Each structure stands twice: as structure tokens, then as C-alpha cells.
Structure 1
Amino acid sequence: MSDKPPSMQSLIAFEATARLGSMTAAAEEERTTQPAISQRIRALEELLGLPLFDRQGSRLNLTTQGERFYREIAPNLKGIREACEQLTHHGNRPSPSIVIAAGSGFTHLWLLPRLPALKRAFPDFTFKLAPIDRVDDPEMQAADIAIRFGPYVPQDKGRLVASEAVFPICSPDYAKERGLSAVLTASDLPHLSLLHQDIKDPRWLDWAQWCRHAGLGLTPGDDVFAYRNYALLLNAALAHQGVALGWSILVEDYLASGQLVALGPQVTREDYGYWLSVKHHRSTVIEPISDWLINAVRR
């Protein structure tokens, strides 16, 4: 036998002919001609130095060596063929798209920075982030995964992502300039610029509500500047313009980097937090992604 390996064409021609019992049938399957199949098999026999088919009579039968050779190569060729078909099918199929809806603050401050890691963990999917602040928005209801802030709602069958924890935050420079200690007191508030998000949503604490929950016994005065969204409010705090209320999961990266500092006291409300619910329960596609998001928060 020659040291040169047989060509794939010759192996395929032999396998198809042996399986179908006819060079003509093999030619139809491989979309070529019967003489081409015959030529490829002849080349394989010459390379191996032995006949693979008994060509006596009208039927085409495998020789003993041909039968053994067929049993050896047929499973391997089948495996190669199936692998190619799966790869082609997968390559032509668009990646499944997963829509994750959450409040704009959570989307921009927590989800977006972690989107690259999510894509690395699930490379076969594409992800669309939908920043939606109203829980009754139809897009929130239609999302594959929805992360809502507020009290626990039993009918949503939500899983707790993070409990509510709210505390004052400001830049280190602002804290130093105003001489703020680790915990704010009622006497501190009248001398601070309080940054407030201008939303009419009872789920979120404003400064007046936070003061009541913190037991400070003082409602802030008129020096309350309102911002349209939470990202703008944080930018103002980063720019040393005042003190904002920080939800721990939204500001954790800024605290870790030292760009913002946390002040006390911390306020929590029973059953309030971020809740994750899915459109299709027990989905083998969605559940691993949901688990990844919850574990990422807890890490």
C-alpha cells in the first residue's frame, strides 16, 4: 500500500456504493456520474492494492476485504457528514434573541456594564436590553425576562434579585467640603443640596419619605433639585453638586471605585427590592440566563 492517504472523494464513492449497492445510485446521491464513481473506486483499490468489489456477474458485491473496510470507515464518514450538516444548520440559523426588560436605572447602571460577560456566558444568544420604568408597560409584560422594582407581587412569581437598601451618597470631595461624617443627622440636612429624582411613582423613596423611614424627624426644605432620570442624578452627585439617595445595587460600582461614598443611615422596606420574572416558566433556555443574572448580583 502507498504511504499516500486515500482521497475523501474516493472514500465517499466507495462508502456510498457499498451502502446503496450500485454505482449509479451512488452517483445520484453524490450528484456526479457513474463513470466518475467507478474511477474513484478504482483509484482507491489501486492505492490499497486489493479489490474491494467482486465484479463477476451482473451484481456488485463487496469482497471480504471490502466488507471489513466498509465496516471500518462507514461510521466515521457518517460522523463527518452529520457534523457538517449540524454546523451548516447552526450557521444558517439566526441566534435566538432574548429580551431583558428593567427600569432605566437598573438597565444602564447594572445590566449594561455586565452585558459583555453575559454574552460570553451565552454566546449562542443575542440580547436586547429594554429600559422600561412603568411596570404596566406592555413591553415589560412581553419581555422574556423582566426585572421589576417594588414590593413583592405573588402573582408575578418573581425571584428576589436584590433587597432594597437606600442610603445617602455623594462624592468624597463634597463630603469633605461639608464636613460630613459617616452618618447624617437631622441637623445636617438643611445645609445640604439634596438631589432628587422627579418621578411620580410611589415605589421609589424620595427625600421626605427617606427621612421618615430613617427616623430623622425632619422634612427637607426647599433646596431640593429634581432630575429627570437616575443616571442624570448620579452624574450630578459625581460632579460634587450635592447628596443623592443611592440604591445599593445601582451604585455599588461607584462605591467600589471610590467615586462616591455612602453615608448613613440605611433604609430598607420589607418585601421591597428587585424581582425577576420570566415569560415562560421552566424554559430550558431562559432559566440558565435567569440563574446567571441572579448569581451575578449576589457575587
Structure 2
Amino acid sequence: MNLDWRIGTALNHLAAFEVAVDKGSFTKAAESLGTTQPSISRHIASLEHLLNVPLFNRLHHRVELTDAGQELYDAVKLGLGHIRQTANKITTKQPSNVLTIGCTYGFAHLWLMQRFSALQKLMPEYELRMVTSDTETIFDLEEIDFAIRFGKGDWSDGHSQKLFSEELFPVCSPQYARDHFGGCENVAPLSLLEVNLIHEQVEKYSWLSWTQWLKHLSIDYTPAPDTYFYNNYTLALQTAVEGHGVALAWPQLAELPLKSGQLVELTGLRVRTDYGYDLAYQRHHHQAGKIVNWVKEEVKDQG
């Protein structure tokens, strides 16, 4: 059966699936959607049948996602979220007290979300909205107020404020460092070729891959044909936290797991480029000064 046709028949199932995950149970999802628990169960069962893969592990008092379910949920959340944003945009005029900030999902999860409430308190008269995407990483300043962009900072469609430059170093769990390197100090670069390197799909983003990073250290490296590539940075970093290998980390984006001790830096191996993250915004934007000053302070606090 054609997969596109199967997905086309599954939109109601996908909506029920999203709410079931968000609410943590089929019963709560039914209450939220004004339907019954058996109805939600049928939607999930139909979706699993269409995809021919289990999405949940059914436990005694709760359900939890399988790996396939988690992968589908990430896609559904982004897809339905984008549909909602677009529908809202074309059917209603956005009020003047709404400010939108666009960034990748990874940047939102690892940097912006932990600061979002502070930014909202700074601007209580505005409703702040995050627009996240891992397929569109530039964002059109005609459609969005502020955008976190990755590049060399030479944006022609507006002004920008440098957040931080690209600086990458290897990280892993403390136990992984002890088991494979005898600790995290003075790790020989070539020893990285003997362990599991955690990869992310980076072609569309332009930040350094393992191949490019190792080349900066004069080491030639090509991933094996069966290498698994994670589709976003958050998942790659979490895999390192769980002790499954070594990932490349930004000091700003890996700040929390590094401070908590979930990850350790393999020292002496930092690579810096002339790329980085910028806050881009429309020329003469009426709130640019306040947000730019706030960003400067946040970045300064990170060293």
C-alpha cells in the first residue's frame, strides 16, 4: 500500500496520538478532546496498523513511547505546530503586541527555553512566541520579528547581534570518559577514532561535522557506511548523557549537562571557527534595543 496514501488517511489518528503523548495517557487525551478512551485507543491502534510498528509500550497504569513512537512524535509535534501557526497567520491578523522569535528546535530546547520566562518578564506587555524548525534555519524577517541564525553574520536583510562563535569540543558521560580514556584530561585526539562517535545530520546547518572537526586537528576521518545520524542536536547530546559515546558540544548549548556533571569535556580539544549564532532582526524594529541588550547580558553571563 502506498505510504503517502496511508499518511493521508491518518490525520485524525496523528492528532489523537499527539494529545495522548502530551497528556501521558489515553484517558486524559480523551478528556481533552471530548471523546472516550476507547476512541483514542482505536486511533492509536489504527495508526500503528497503518505504519506497521508499535508506538507505545502499554504498562499497567500508563503508556510510554517506543523509539519509533518518539521519532514520530517529534515529527508530528513540529508538523502540526507549523500547520497551526500557518493557519493562525492566514486566518487572523496578528495583534501588534505579539513578538515572534524563530530558531531551531535544538537551540530552543537547550538555550532559549530556560531563559524564555525571564524574557517574558522583561516585556510583560507583549506575548512572546517561539517558532521552531529544523528544516528552516534562517527565517524570513518579513514574517518574524527576531531570528536566531547560524552563519558568518553577514545578513543582508537586517541587523544582527553576535551571540557566540562556533566553538566545539568532545563530551561524554563521566563513566564513559573513565572507561575509554582513563578520565577527561589530556585526551589524545587519535583515541577518539577508537570509540563510538555520536553523529548528527549537519549538512543543512553548516556547523562542523565530526569529519570537519577532526580535520581541524589534522586527522582524516570518514564515518562508516552504517553510521547512524541523529536528526537534531538535542537527541545527539542526550545520547552522550546516557553513556553511549562521544558527541561534539557547544559550551553554551551544553551548559546545563556540563554544570550538572552529566557530561564532561574531554579537555584540550576545542575547535573554533568564524561561524556562529546571531540574533537577526528587522531594521528599526521598535523592540530591538531592549531585546539586544538582554541578549548581550545573557551571553556575557555565559562567559
Q: Could you say which TM-score interval applies, normalised by the shorter chain? A: 0.5 to 0.7
In structure 1, distance between residues paired with 2:272 and 2:145: 29
Q: Distance in 1 between matches of 2:176 and 2:251?
A: 19
Q: Could you say if the C-alpha distance between residues 165 and 199 of structure 1 is closer, same or farther in structure 2, counting changes exceeding 3 Å? A: closer
What's the CA shift for 1:290?
Answer: 2.4
Structure 1 residues 218 and 127: alpha-carbon distance in aligned structure 2, compared to 1, 3 A threshold: same
Q: Answer yes or no: is the 8 Å Cα contact 2:100–2:144 preserved in 1.
A: yes
Q: 1:298 and 1:115 mapped to 2: Cα distance?
A: 17
Say which one has the larger Rg. 1
Answering whether residue 272 of structure 2 is matched by residue 268 of structure 1, we say: yes
1:170 to 166, 169, 172: 172
Confirm or deny: 8 A CA contact 1:190 1:221 kept in the other structure: no
Deviation at 1:154, TM superposition (A): 4.7
Partner amino acid for 1:203?
A: S
Local SS of the residue matching 2:179: helix
TM-score, with structure 2 as normaliser: 0.61
Instruction: Give the CA deviation at 1:183.
Output: 3.6
Separation in 2 of the partners of 1:268 and 1:95? 40
Q: CA-to-partner distance for each residue in 1:12-69, whole Å, 9 max, x for gaps? A: xxxxxxxxxxxxxxxxxxxxxxxxxxxxxxxxxxxxxxxxxxxxxxxxxxxxxxxxxx
Distance in 2 (alpha carbons) for counterparts of 1:122 and 1:202 = 31
Moved more, 177-186 or 99-108: 177-186
Aligned to 1:286: 288
For 1:233, the equivalent position in structure 2 comes to 236
Tell me, what secondary structure is at the counterpart of 2:291? Answer: helix
- Within a 5 Å distance, the mapping from 1:50-199 to structure 2 comes to 96-133=97-134, 134-138=136-140, 142-155=143-156, 156-178=158-180, 179-199=182-202
Question: Which ranges of structure 2 fall in alignment gaps of 5 or more residues?
Answer: 1-94
Deviation at 1:278, TM superposition (A): 0.9
Conserved in 2, the CA contact under 8 Å of 1:152 and 1:275?
Answer: yes
Shift of 1:180: 4.2
Q: 1:125 to 1:241 in 2, by over 3 A?
A: same
Letter in 2 for 1:196: H
Residues in 1 aligned to 2:292 and 2:278: alpha-carbon distance in whole angstroms: 11
State the distance in 1 between where 2:162 and 2:234 align.
23
> d(CA) in 2 for partners of 1:191 and 1:224?
14
In angstroms, what is the RMSD of aligned CA positions?
2.1
- Cα pair distance change 1:286/1:207, threshold 3 Å: same
Asked if the contact 1:164–1:248 (Cα under 8 Å) also holds between the matched residues in 2, the reply is no
Distance 2:150 2:138 in 1: 12
Alignment deviations for residues 197-242 of structure 1 (CA, whole Å, 9 cap, x no partner): 0232261111000001133x23155284311111111110110010
Q: Specify the alignment match of 1:28 in structure 2.
A: none
Aligned position for 1:297: 299
In structure 2, do the counterparts of structure 1 residues 117 and 173 end up closer, same or farther at CA, with 3 Å as the change threshold?
A: same
Aligned length: 202
